[in-house]
Structure 1
Amino acid sequence: MSDSRGRWSDLDRPPLGAAALRSALIRPGGPWTRLRVVEVTGSTNADLAAAAQAGDAAPGEILIAEEQTSGRGRLGRGWSAPPRSGLFFSVLLEPDVPTERLPWLPLLAGVAVASALSRTAGVDTALKWPNDVLVTVDGKERKLGGILAERTPSGAVVLGMGLNVSLRADELPVPAAGSLLLAGAPVRDRDPLLRAVLRALGAWYTGWVAAGGDPETGGDPAVGGLRDAYVAGCATLGRQVRAELPGGEDVRGEAIALDGDGRLVIADADGVRHPLGAADIVHLRAT
C-alpha cells in the first residue's frame, strides 16, 4: 500500500500558516475579509466563483490551495504544479468602477505581484502584456506566473494567480516556464511572499477603486497611477512582437503604447496602429 503522505513530505516545501496569514491580512475596514487554505482542489477560481454564486463567499475573500489539479490559464489552457511549490490563490472582488475600466484589473494585479516579488523575494521581475509575470533564468525571459480574471453571473470578479516559487528545472511544465528558485531569488519562503503580494494587491485595488477605476490617477498612493506603473514595468513595450488573436489571425510589429483602456497598441510594418484588447503576445528576438 502506497504512502499518500509522500507527496506532502518535501521538507523544502513546508505548508502555509493559515492562522498567521489571517492575523497578518484580515483587518476591519481592509480589502480582505476572509482567508481559507485548502490542501488540494481543482481550481481556486472555479471554487470561489461557485461559492460566490451560492452565497457562501463575499467580496474580499481569499482562497488558497497548496495544490491545484485543474488550474486554468487564459484561453482555457491547463496549468498545474507540484504540491506546495508555488502560490496558487484567487480573490473575490466587486469593484465599484465603470464596466469599461474592468480590463485594468488584471493589469493592476500584475503590477502588484511584480512589485511585491521584486521587493520581497529580491529578484528582478517584469510584465508581459496582458497577464504574465516574467523573471530571468540563465539570461532568458521565463514565465514565473500568470493572472486570470473572470466575471461571475452577479457581476463580481474572481481574480486568480499562479506563481512558481520552488519549481526545479525537471518540474517545469514547459521550457519557457521559470520559478523564483531558478531565478536565484534569495527569499523563497511562501508565507512572507504571499503576505507581500496580497498587501500590494489590496493597496493598488483600494486606490484604483477610490479613483473610480481611473488608471491615470488610481493606484497605490505610495507609488502613483496604475497606467504609469504598468508601463514602467512592462517588458512588451518597445519590443517587436507577434500578437496571436482569438480568431486565429496574427499581427506583427512593434508594441508602442498602452492606451487608456489597457489595450496594447502595435504598429505594423506599414505604420498602421492596431489596438488589441485580447491576444497572446510572443516577444520576438531582434534580427
Structure 2
Amino acid sequence: MTPPSSVGNGPGRWSDLDRPPLNATALRRALLRPDGLWTSLDVVQTTGSTNSDLAGRAGELAEGAVLVAEEQTAGRGRLDRNWTAPARSGLFLSVLLKPDVPVERWGWLPLLTGVAAATGLARAAGADFSLKWPNDLLVKVAGVERKAGGILAERTGDDGVVIGIGINVTLREAELPVPEAGSLVLADAISTDRDPLLRALLRSLEHWYGEWRAANGDPGASRLQEAYAAGCSTLGRTVRAELPGDRTLTGEAVAIDGDGRLVVATADGERHPVGAGDIVHLRPGD
C-alpha cells in the first residue's frame, strides 16, 4: 500500500483560500485525552480511501485511531459506490472501534454514527440534519432534502470495525457529484469552519459510543434506538426497498426494530424487516 501524503508536503495546500487546511496539532490537543476514546489522530493531504488505509493498519493500532484526509481519490460509499469531492471541501475520515459488546449488536454502529454526526454537526454548523435509513445524512436546500453525507462501516477481522464518514461542507452547486447531493454551505449553515465541525462530530461520536458500550450494546437502554427514530426522515414515508436478488418491496416505513432494521408495512398488512438494500423515498404518485 502506498502511504498517503502528509499534510504540508503536497503542492497547492492553500490553493483555495475559502478552504483552509485542517489544523492537526490543534485537533489533537482538543480531542486526545488519556481517559478519552480517541487515541491518535492523523491528517493526510490526499489518499485513496481512509477506510482502506485504516483497515490495513487495524492490527497495529489501538481503538480510537482517527484518520482524516483533506482529499480522497477513491472514497467508497455503500455498495462500492464512489465518493469523491474537491480537496478540503468536506470532512473525510475514518475511525477504528473495537467494541467489547456482543457482536450481534455491532450492526447498530453505522446508525449510532449517523445519530452522532447529525447531533454534533447540527449544533456546530447551525443546520438541521435528518437521517435516511440506514446511513445517509440529509440537509434541506431550498426546502428540498438532499444527501450531504454518508457512513460506511467495515469489519477488520474479529475485533474491529472501521467506520468511514464523509460530509460535504463547502461544495458549491457546480461541484456536486449528482444534482440530488447537498452540502452545508448550500443548506445555509451558520458555520462551515471544518476544525470545529470535526471536533463536534468526534466528541458526539465519543459520547454516543460510550453510552452504547456502557449499555452492552443495547439500543434501548442506551436510548440509541429512540434517538435514531426521532431523527429518521424515512419513518412515516412511503418507500421502495430495493433488496438483494433484484427484489423490491413497497410500503410505509413504520419502525426501526431492535436490530436496527427498517420495518416496512405493505398494503396487505404484513410487516417486513429490511436489513440490507437501498431505500427510495417515494413521493405521492410515484
| 1:28 corresponding residue in structure 2 | 34
TM-score of the superposed pair, with normalisation by structure 2? 0.94
Structure 1 residue 33: Cα displacement: 0.3
Contact 1:144-1:179 at 8 Å conserved across structures:
yes
For residues 182 and 86 of structure 1, the distance between their equivalents in structure 2, rounded to whole angstroms, comes to 13
Q: Aligned to 1:39, what secondary structure does the other structure show? A: strand
Match of 2:53 among 47, 51, 54: 47
Does the CA contact (< 8 Å) of 1:71 and 1:80 recur in 2? yes
Match of 1:170 in 2: 174
Distance in 1, matches of 2:11 and 2:57, equals: 29
Q: Can you give the 5+ residue segments of structure 2 that lack an aligned partner in the other structure?
A: 1-9
Q: 1:84 corresponds to which residue?
A: 88
Residue pair 2:54, 2:162 contacting (<8 A) in 1 also: yes
Deviates more, 1:77-86 or 1:246-255: 246-255
CA distance in structure 1 between the aligned counterparts of 2:31 and 2:190, rounded to whole angstroms: 24
Q: Residues of 2 paired with 1:34 and 1:216: CA distance?
A: 30
Structure 1's unaligned 5+ residue stretches are: 219-224
**Residue 221 of structure 1 corresponds to which residue in structure 2?**
none
SS in 1 for 2:71: strand
Matched to 1:283, the amino acid is: H
Q: Is the 8 A contact 1:7 1:83 kept in 2?
A: no
Aligned partner of 2:23 in structure 1 is 17
The offset of 1:154, in angstroms, is: 3.5
Q: Which residue of the partner structure matches residue 125 of structure 1? A: 129
**CA distance in 1: counterparts of 2:248 and 2:14, whole angstroms:** 43
Query: Aligned equivalents of 2:224 and 2:214: distance in 1?
Result: 13
TM-score, normalisation: structure 1: 0.94
Q: Please identify, of 255-264 and 7-16, the stretch whose mean Cα deviation from structure 2 is larger.
A: 7-16
What's the CA shift for 1:7? Answer: 7.3
Question: Aligned equivalents of 2:32 and 2:245: distance in 1?
Answer: 43
Pairing partner for 2:205 from 201, 209, 212:
201
Shift of 1:286: 2.4
The answer on whether the counterparts of 1:8 and 1:83 sit within 8 Å (CA) in structure 2 is no
In the other structure, the counterpart of 2:271 is 273
1:62 aligns with 2:101: no
How many residues align? The count is 276
In 2, Cα distance between equivalents of 1:71 and 1:246: 23
Paired with 1:7 and 1:96, the residues of 2 have a C-alpha distance of 40
Alignment partners' CA distance in 2, 1:51 and 1:108: 23
Q: 1:6 to 1:22 in 2, by over 3 A?
A: closer
Residues 245 and 7 of structure 1: is their aligned pair in 2 closer, same or farther, counting only changes over 3 Å? farther
Secondary structure of the corresponding residue to residue 12 of structure 1: coil
1:6: how far off? 4.6
Superposed, which structure 2 residues align to 1:129-148 within 5 Å?
129-148=133-152
